[in-house]
Chain A
Amino acid sequence: MSNNRLVILHGNAHPKLSKEIASCLNTEVGNALVSKFANSETQVIINESVRDVDLYIVQPTCNPSVNDYLMELLVMVDGAKRASAHRITAVVPFFGYARQSKKDKSRAPITCKLVANMMEAAGIDRVITMDLHSSQIQGFFNIPVENVYTEPLFVKYIKKKKKTEFLNQEFVIVSPGVGGVKRAKAISDKLESELAIIHRANKEMSLSLSSSFSFDIEETVLVGDVTGKIAIIIDDIADTCKTLKLASKALIKKGAIKVYALVTHGVFSNNAIDIINDSSITELVITDSIPNEHNKEKCPKLKIISIASVLSETMRRCHHGESVTSISK
């Protein structure tokens, strides 16, 4: 048993998740006030002793205020560090800037690496995050990063669906992009189902297939067979949801009888909710890595899976120095 007491604090991004995690661990969230001064500077007041504690700060760096939430996390860490916390773990279920992880154009920043450096500069000892956009991001850090997967939750969800709704209907796991095939394949393997891939036709391909120079920029290509099956799209982020809509349209066109989507992070920027409502998707399942209760009212298709138990179990094992990998089995 560790001598350092476990304490949970949170910023303003997702207080509900913190309370659920604390409840899973049979404890309560610690006392801290995180707000803004009149001049928009972030202010943090920690109202209980954190001396020598094993501290977990729960704060997704998500929309609508990515930079504010990031700054809250950093300032809380600075305050806790100076108050002699034994170890500080940032629990960041959604890692903002994760898609800015490579120099895709000349003179581009790699903002995700900058954010990793900022977190270490603030004094974070380790990070717990969920379904990082790319696993290489762990290498941006010099400190331990636990990348927890939603895959077991999704597999469990689909198995339950299989018993209650899909019944004897065949289903196929679909990746909506070439980047996510690995994730989709892992799930299709677990469920012993087929795999399909949707990717965008590139300009050269369209050009060669057509006698004219015009082509549909939104043309999608399906690899695999979905005829007469339920198609289940697996992805890590639902942002503008245009890709999701196009994918579901293509799947229906190719003979899928229904389309479900299981996505880890529901970012939903701009008019994403309208796009989902207009799409052929039967159900969009997301986790609560980002707060989305307000969107459920606008979109009946939206279902939310709780990640509190997975995160709390990860935290419990980190606290006790146990293996984290075996959670996934």
Chain B
Amino acid sequence: MGDRIKILTGNAHRELASEISDDLNLALGKAHVGKFSNGETSVMISESIRDMDVYIIQPTCNPNVNDNLMELLIMADAIRRASAHRITAVIPCFGYARQDKKDKSRAPITGKLVANLIETAGIDRVITMDLHASQIQGFFNIPVDNLYAEPQIIKYIRKYIPGEKVIVSPDAGGVKRAKSISDKLDADLAIIHKERKKANEVSGMILVGDVKDKVALIVDDMADTCGTLVSACEMLISKGATKVYALVTHGVLSGDAIQKLNESSLTELVITNTIPHAEKAAKCPKIKTINIAHTLSEAIRRTHHGESISSLFSDTK
């Protein structure tokens, strides 16, 4: 790599940033990011980044979404004022992505607000992964590269999950993702959809498609409280699935998700490392991790050299 590129990281996911910079044969840039005693975020960039192509690695994820977002914004401000040539925010998991529409009267669209804040801070482009909805790219006035974990997930399925399979989308919104994977694996497709009685109460699940005597693979972009996931799993088992796996890009795993998973019939939950989760994985043997560091480092390398990114995802047959 040339000497005009610099990788910096906040505190959200230092491990991923190290893997990415190792992939690129670069040392991680020197930056201190912490907090003053009064709770304000403090940022100090300790080496020159003048005229550099700077990449800030920072998922805006739990457990401190607002702190992680603020670190990213303040780092971008410091880097811009230090005369960097270009600033790219690498946000493997984009917090607030599900707050992307006015679902009730007087609701904010916080995903759009966050996009505005990112541009306001001086970020020139964004690299993210498996955005909850592709439309979020349209919230930005700057280029957004939405990478996909799909090739890695397909590779994992082929390598580790034997038997006749059916790809299951746990809701109507994710059918496109599930169909794309089922096409590439020459597997059947099934859909679970639900009528939602109250805001957080899931009931009345309906299965469309046949899972009898098959291995059911639930694919989704996010595993948060995992209530839906566990309910879907129980339904699939009751409908005759021999085993149920879940393959999810972002392992948010908030609340009592770990407990639910441990008590469920799910065989495995496969997530990528867009969000650090070593502590949670230690409490749940079912959790397996796909490493997406190389996908991100390759995207960064291509961005830096002005090469195509979409060709990263064009040959997964």
Chain A: residues with CB nearer than 8 A to chain B?
37-47, 49-50, 62-68, 70-71, 74-76, 78-80, 82-83, 96-97, 100, 103, 105-111, 113-114, 117-118, 120-122, 239-240, 267, 269-270
Contact = CB atoms under 8 A, between A and B. Distances in A.
Contacts of A67: 39, 41, 64, 66-67, 69-70
Contacts of A64: 39
A40 B121 contact: no
Contacts of B82: 106-107
19 contacts: A37-B254, A39-B252, A41-B96, A41-B99, A42-B66, A44-B110, A45-B104, A50-B106, A62-B39, A65-B66, A78-B110, A82-B102, A96-B39, A105-B44, A107-B82, A108-B43, A108-B78, A118-B73, A269-B37
Contacts of A43: 99
Given A38-B225, A76-B108, A111-B77, 13 more contacts: A41-B62, A41-B95, A41-B99, A42-B110, A63-B40, A82-B108, A83-B105, A96-B38, A109-B43, A109-B77, A111-B74, A114-B77, A117-B120
A129 to B, nearest CB: 16
Nearest to B224: A39
Contacts of A40: 62-66, 254
B117 A74 contact: yes
Given A38-B254, A114-B120, A44 B39 contact: no
Contacts of A120: 120
B108 A75 contact: yes
B252 A118 contact: no
A267 B38 CA distance: 7
A118 B120 contact: yes
Contacts of A68: 66-67
Contact of A75 (B64, B81, B113): B113
For chain B, the bracket of interface size reads 35 or more
A108 B41 contact: no
Contacts of B108: 44, 75-76, 78-79, 82
B258 interface: no
A169 B48 CA distance: 57
Contact of B38 (A46, A50, A66, A76): A66
A233 B110 CA distance: 43
A74 B110 CA distance: 9
Contacts of A76: 108
Contacts of A78: 108-110, 112-113
**B62, B79, B96, B113: most-surrounded residue (chain A CB, <10 A):** B113
B45 interface: yes
A70 B40 CA distance: 11
A267 B39 CA distance: 10
Closest 5 CB pairs of A and B: A79-B108, A109-B78, A83-B106, A78-B108, A63-B39
A62 B37 CA distance: 12
**A39, A82, A96, A106: most-surrounded residue (chain B CB, <10 A):** A39
A108 B44 contact: yes
Contact of B66 (A46, A71, A122, A239): A71
A121 B116 contact: yes
B38 A122 contact: no
A39 B62 contact: yes
A163 to B, nearest CB: 36
A113 B95 CA distance: 23
Given A74-B117, A122-B113, A108 B39 contact: no
Nearest to B42: A100
Contacts of B37: 239-240, 269-270
A124 to B, nearest CB: 12
Interface string B95-128: 1100100101111111011001101110000000
A41 B59 CA distance: 13
B151 to A, nearest CB: 26
B117 A121 contact: yes
A68 B40 CA distance: 11
Given A66-B40, A114-B121, A103 B81 contact: yes
Contacts of B119: 121
B49 interface: yes
A122 B109 CA distance: 11
